[in-house]
Structure 1
Amino acid sequence: MQLKLLTAEDLNRFETFLFDADGVLWRGGETIAGSVEFVQQLQRQGKRVFVITNNSTKTRSQYLKKLHGLGFDLPDSNVISPGVVLPMYLKDNGYENKKIYLIGTPSLKDSLEKGAGVKCVGLGPEHFEDLTDTDFIFQLENDEEIAAVVVSFDGHISYPKIMRAANYLRDSSVDFFITNEDTTFPGPCDDVIVPGTGCIAAAIRSVVDREPLVFGKPNTPIADFLKRHHHIDATKTIMFGDRLDTDIMFANGNGFTSCLMLTGIHSLETVNKAKLTGNHLQIPHFQFSFSPYAGLTNGF
């Protein structure tokens, strides 16, 4: 399937430009050719530019440091992730001073505690052999003060952590939140699979009869946040992404124009598969490449 190429005339129709981060603006520690110049040109033309990432392993300030180091000059309010939207949700819904069981990273813990005033527990490794000398764990001492379970990427994920989350979620008064369900991360080595939050979330989903609130793309919380706090016009907004199941679905499902970048996870072959299976929400409106804009100094 050939997708329509995004033209300069098309670009001028939009007021707001949303970009996924890793796999679109950069890959690993290197920028995608032309991405910095393209974003700078949009800003010179008075366009609004946001980075929308599902990666909650970094705080907003850590993301800004990386963006600035790569040459992107964005205000902190224009970097949006579940790690930004989730703390505001918790704060707005009365979670201040409550305990959260967190499957996540120290950076997400920092974002939640500073942004929402909650207390996060569960960080770091928890080993099976520390809880039993048999092949099973039959007893757990769970904290009765836990108000919610938050699931994100955790390099220390283990059977005990999955078991704790599942047992907390047996109580219907304990809320269930997932930052995102990306199955993999894009990485510098094409022949190495880097599992993401999605596999962790799937393990917990499989043993609890609960429907979580998922904050990352393609779900609505980030789009709702943009519309409510930044007053963007969906009809004049375009999303650039490398994943059909997150970025493109996020755009199509929330009334934005979708544009596929072929610099990350998915390809035109993946688009063809989506078309054959009738998954229309995963079919982009356009495709695009930054390469012609490398070295650009003025105008499209």
Structure 2
Amino acid sequence: MEDTHPTAFAGVTPDPAWAFDQYQRLRHQLPRPDYNPGPSQAIPSLEPLQERFDAFVFDAFGVLNTGMAVIPGAVERLASLQASGKSVLVLSNAATASQAALTAKYQAMGFDLAEHQVISSRWLLEDSLGREPRNGLWGVIAPPTSDSQTLPGIHQHPVRPGITDLELDACDGFIFLSSEDWNEVLHEQLTASLKRRPRPLEVANPDLVAPRGDCLTLEPGFFAHRLREDTGVSPQFFGKPYAPAFAAALTRLAGIPAHRILMVGDTLHTDILGARAAGMATLLVSSHGSLAGMDLDSCIRQSGIAPDFITPSI
């Protein structure tokens, strides 16, 4: 199946250096943990930490997989942790697939994971919609799959290529699930509609980019921040680095102190920043994700976001 997430937009072709600079530009919009980061310890893999922590929370893209390709050793590492009695969760900003479909995807990749071990930003959104149904008609930005038509608590209309300005203006709010098929025409249409009548914008995937094979794709967070800057509408974000995502992980790991939980991620401004704000320990994976090829010491120094540990791969 052809991947239709955008790899360029309005003259922007993302690479790790560009993505880092964009996250830095948006730093004032992100959580601000109250901590003084110490020096990060370089380790060859996650193995030296296996007995040091009681639970492990993994980002997916850039840690377990890149696109549909499993990162070598990832399946074995999670199996080893679970065999030794450690609690394992996946905390992902994936927003297109339902909880059942996302779990099935990881299982098909070889990961021995049950639904209760997966927390996605899609699940966080659905949980919010289930508790607080939204009124009116909501435009849902998502691929044309059955999953995108099953959001609870809303009356919805798909926002897809070919939608008219009249249809956009009839929506009372928008939910951004996926950037698949998003393009400059659609973006300008939505920008103009929100300028005509500001309405809520809820974003299930706060990521700016995602690693997919040998490239980075532009994700809903990138477009949402552009909409905020161009229209004045403040998006509501679900997923990392925001507190509800990490609160959900801590709830599922009830009884385990936050400092005994290791968050494993590939992005300083989402995985590491959000976990540090939640009181978790952190491990940055450097070889496969959005920081691949970057000068990590410089990135840490510029951002002030220091993981406890750094490893090339788990």
TM over 0.5: yes
Per-residue CA deviations over 1:113-168 (Å, capped at 9, x if unaligned) read 535232221332126xxx6xxxxxxxx42567644221232313343454336534
* Aligned match of 1:285: 308
| 1:39 equivalent in alignment to 2:62 | no
Q: Secondary structure at the match of 1:264?
A: coil
Among the aligned pairs, what percent are the same residue? 25
| 1:100 equivalent in alignment to 2:138 | yes
| 1:221 equivalent in alignment to 2:244 | yes
Q: Which runs of 5+ in 2 are unaligned?
A: 1-38
Shift of 1:24: 0.8
Distance in 2 (CA, whole Å) between partners of 1:22 and 1:87 is 21
Per-residue CA deviations over 1:88-123 (Å, capped at 9, x if unaligned) read 11121132x74211222345x735x53523222133
Per-residue CA deviations over 1:221-268 (Å, capped at 9, x if unaligned) read 211222345535322211111122221122122211110112222147
* Aligned match of 2:69: 30
Aligned positions, number: 272
Matches within 5 A, 1:244-283: 244-262=268-286, 263-267=288-292, 269-277=294-302, 279-281=303-305, 283=306
Q: Secondary structure at the match of 1:199?
A: helix
Q: Secondary structure at the match of 1:83?
A: helix
Distance in 1 (CA, whole Å) between partners of 2:205 and 2:258 is 22
Residue identity in the other structure for 2:206: E
Q: 1 or 2 for the larger relative contact order (CA 8 Å, sep ≥6)? A: 2
Per-residue CA deviations over 1:29-48 (Å, capped at 9, x if unaligned) read 33222211111111112211
For residue 126 of structure 2, the aligned residue among 72, 87, 92 is: 87
For residue 13 of structure 1, the aligned residue among 52, 69, 72 is: 52
Q: Secondary structure at the match of 1:149?
A: strand
Q: Contact conserved, 1:154 with 1:197, CA < 8 A, in 2?
A: no
Q: Secondary structure at the match of 2:82?
A: helix
For residue 184 of structure 1, the aligned residue among 189, 194, 209 is: 209
Residue identity in the other structure for 2:269: D
Distance in 1 (CA, whole Å) between partners of 2:186 and 2:49 is 51
Change (3 A) 1:21 1:63: same
For residue 56 of structure 1, the aligned residue among 81, 91, 95 is: 95
* Aligned match of 1:157: 183
RMSD over aligned Cα atoms: 2.9
Q: Contact conserved, 1:126 with 1:158, CA < 8 A, in 2?
A: no
Question: Considering only CA atoms, is the larger Rg found in Structure 1 or Structure 2?
Answer: 1
For residue 221 of structure 2, the aligned residue among 177, 198, 202 is: 198
* Aligned match of 2:160: 124
Distance in 2 (CA, whole Å) between partners of 1:154 and 1:8 is 36
Distance in 2 (CA, whole Å) between partners of 1:102 and 1:202 is 17
Distance in 1 (CA, whole Å) between partners of 2:293 and 2:186 is 40
Per-residue CA deviations over 1:182-218 (Å, capped at 9, x if unaligned) read 22221222xx442222332233122221322111211
Q: Contact conserved, 1:126 with 1:156, CA < 8 A, in 2?
A: no
Q: Secondary structure at the match of 1:150?
A: strand
Change (3 A) 1:75 1:170: farther
Distance in 1 (CA, whole Å) between partners of 2:188 and 2:117 is 34
